[in-house]
Structure 1
Amino acid sequence: MSKALEAVLRDLAAFPAPELASPEDCKRRAAVAAVFRIQPNPSHLPPPSATTSPASDLDTFFSQPWVQHGDPELLFIKRASRTGDRWTSHVAFPGGKRDPTDPTDHSSAIRECLEEVGLNLTSPGVLSVGHLPDRLIKTSWGTVPLLTLCPFVFLLTTPQTPELQLQGEEVASAHWVPWRLLFDPRLRTTESCDVADRLAKKRGTLVRKTLSLALGQMEFSAVRLWPGRSVFATFARDYLMPVEAGIFESPLVLWGVTLAVVEDLMEMQEPGIVELWDWPTFTAWDVKAVIRAWSSGLRTRNRKRAKEAVKGVMVERMVEEKVVVDMSDSLVLVEKEEVEVLAKRSQTFRERESTINILVDGYYDIVRKAVWATLAGRFVLGTAVVGGVVYRVLNRR
């Protein structure tokens, strides 16, 4: 798995995603840090007498035996429970909103990581690898922009990981999760939340509550996390909240924006893994059925676009005289001249693009229409049933 991660990080370092400018009506930006480490195998630890200086580049780092036999892990945090916080108790990466004093989004990620978990990403033992695609975060089913999220990837390069110091007001716990487990289909699940959470404050309370009752909950694709090591903010006020509520199992579930960022990384290592991800829907069966039917064509087109984007990026990066590239389900030998032709056809894929962003493009427009169509259908059906009952009652007299 270390070898596979090496290819991902090399690709990201060579081809970082471009910065996404904030829209005029939403200038808020936030940055997060996706931090990798290699958990050494006890059989391949460097001897205590060895002096291991931090690697200054990916080549040096991945050439070390303890790295080659180690297990990559990714750092997640569980945010503290806070009233009024949109992301309360969510599993996420360390990060937060960009301050006016932050010169760049990258520096925001570094500052937030230090503040939240005490990890200094500017130390000699850390490599700043690259920039994943920015994304505009929206709510109210994709109509109201909240902020632009900027994800950055870092790599710890020493066998000993610095001790994490959690900021209990913001972070309830931190977890090192084996990277390989995120690819396991058995850990795929769903996460549900109240519809009102998706509507922000744009609509009145009565409308939100009515929709919540009518539509049930929103259901999102998710992954259950199985950490290798966890650190808890035992001094935080919500440390014993699950126990006090009678909950003795508090599973870590990754979903939403953070899962979308992780899916982008996973797709770089294993193209097609995003097939395990599914579009958001509702728990109400009729709403779910209408959305599924109405969005069928769009989902098929977006799947195709996402696959073509991956192929386009692959083609752009071919530099040898002859290369082997998987352009379908079979390996094909491609001459340099053919690569140049294909590259001209794939100029739109030149810059790395979020796979999940491609998949959901236009989807929430259909969700909104399908929801109102379903509610209208319920009203018409209900009116017809009531009218039929009244008609029969009146005809009996």
Structure 2
Amino acid sequence: MPISSKEALKRIGERLQADSSLYIPSPLTQPRRACVALILRWHSKRPDLIPQATSAAYPPKTIQEFFELPWVKEDDQGHAELLFMQRATRSGDRWSGHVAYIGGKNEAGETDLDTVTREVQEESGLDLASDAFLQLGRLDDREVISTYNKQLMMILIPFVFLQVVPCTPPMDLEKDEVASVAWIPLDFFLSPIPNERVCYAEESLTPRVLQGWRRKLLRPLLGGVSFPAIDLPIDKHPDMTISLGGDNTSSHRRFRLWGLTLAMTRDLIQLTGQADLPFVALVAGTPRYSRQDIGMWIKCIALVSLWTRSSSSLSKSQQQAQWEKAYYGSLRPGLVMAMVARVVVLAMGVSWLRRRFH
């Protein structure tokens, strides 16, 4: 039976404050780092307790002190929520309209904490350095690898913050970056995901650098890939969605969670210690390929790559990250091997036909 979102929030906070996450330093050849904020809050259903928000433990410095606040401790009707944003629609932007966590790339001389604090304030107006928020910790750093040439693009650092005041400070969304934001109940990730919300995000396997006739030639040969995805329930909780209006209004659009944001959400939910959650199992699903031989080659190459550098000393989350790195790093070699195998089979077929009819 799933635990309550209050218990889940407490376990997440205690685990983050007790454990140290994996830190990956940036190599000199690629100093780019990007930081995002996973922001949690307790949505109280007891307004009568809010006047007692200020107490001797305010502002709380630990997750234990937070749960001693009256509007949290005595409220059994509320629920925990997680903040997502939908990127603004921009021509030529690959991530246009995607669901993500608020954040961005670092600037010269910044620490990771400096970066996430600045980016969140610029894009949402929330001041993570204020007494309204408590930094719980950070998830494991992630290497973002180009599937085209296997080069390191950046290190991604996910911070986790908790809103420790009953009312969220006013938000001022940056219209050029953010179309809307939504608070999603943590219960959604702790319960079975409704079938109508389980879907796939489709991408072409044809390299983006190829254009014109070469792209048209390769597209039917390579086909596409579909990644596990989930449509977040913003239609069920319209009061938890903040939109800008105008062309970027997103309240009528779906909040489709997939890719790195989905993986980071899984890492957060796994901190609850709940085994066999349907959400976690869904995220662990492998992509679907319209050309099955390509998927086979990618998986085989990834398994070989993982076998040569696997380590039993890694945590479960680190093993997952290592597998994902090996898998998506094998995308280009898998495509090449699939094309080579097709050429070999075609050549063998042509040779056989020549011998058969001559």
Answer whether TM exceeds 0.5 for this pair: yes
Corresponding residue for residue 90 of structure 2: 82
1:215–1:282 CA contact under 8 A, matched in 2: no
SS in 1 for 2:199: strand
1:281–1:291 CA contact under 8 A, matched in 2: no
Corresponding residue for residue 165 of structure 1: 172
Change in Cα spacing, 1:183 to 1:212, as seen in structure 2 (3 Å) is farther
Counterparts of 1:4-23 in structure 2, within 5 Å, are 4-23=8-27
**Structure 1: gaps (5+ residues):** 241-247, 311-352
Corresponding residue for residue 374 of structure 1: 338
Q: CA deviation at 1:99?
A: 1.6
Question: In 2, distance between residues paired with 1:367 and 1:287?
Answer: 9
Partner of residue 151 from structure 1, selected from 158, 168, 171: 158
Is residue 34 of structure 2 the alignment partner of residue 27 of structure 1? no
Is residue 104 of structure 2 the alignment partner of residue 99 of structure 1? no
Deviates more, 1:163-172 or 1:374-383: 374-383
Q: Which of the pair has more CA radius of gyration?
A: 1
Partner of residue 261 from structure 2, selected from 258, 261, 270: 258
**Structure 2: gaps (5+ residues):** none
- State the one-letter code of the partner of 1:152: F
Change in Cα spacing, 1:194 to 1:309, as seen in structure 2 (3 Å) is same
Corresponding residue for residue 323 of structure 2: 359
SS in 2 for 1:254: strand
Q: CA deviation at 1:98?
A: 0.9
Question: In 1, distance between residues paired with 2:310 and 2:25?
Answer: 26
Deviates more, 1:208-217 or 1:14-23: 208-217
Question: In 2, distance between residues paired with 1:381 and 1:13?
Answer: 56
After TM superposition, the score normalised by the length of structure 1 is: 0.74
After TM superposition, the score normalised by the length of structure 2 is: 0.81
Change in Cα spacing, 1:384 to 1:185, as seen in structure 2 (3 Å) is farther
Change in Cα spacing, 1:281 to 1:371, as seen in structure 2 (3 Å) is farther
Question: In 2, distance between residues paired with 1:289 and 1:149?
Answer: 29
Q: CA deviation at 1:230?
A: 0.7
Q: CA deviation at 1:125?
A: 1.5
2:85–2:178 CA contact under 8 A, matched in 1: yes
1:141–1:364 CA contact under 8 A, matched in 2: no
Question: In 2, distance between residues paired with 1:55 and 1:179?
Answer: 23
1:241-296 CA distances to partner (integer Å, 9 max, x unpaired)? xxxxxxx9632111111122212112221355443312345222332344456656
Q: CA deviation at 1:211?
A: 3.9
Corresponding residue for residue 338 of structure 1: none
Deviates more, 1:181-190 or 1:204-213: 204-213
1:147-182 CA distances to partner (integer Å, 9 max, x unpaired)? 111111111112212232211111111010111212
Question: In 2, distance between residues paired with 1:49 and 1:361?
Answer: 48
Count of aligned pairs: 337
- State the one-letter code of the partner of 2:327: Y
The sequence identity of aligned pairs, in percent, is: 29
1:180-204 CA distances to partner (integer Å, 9 max, x unpaired)? 21234424432111224xx464x67
Partner of residue 61 from structure 1, selected from 44, 51, 66: 66
Alignment root-mean-square deviation, CA: 3.2
- State the one-letter code of the partner of 2:96: T
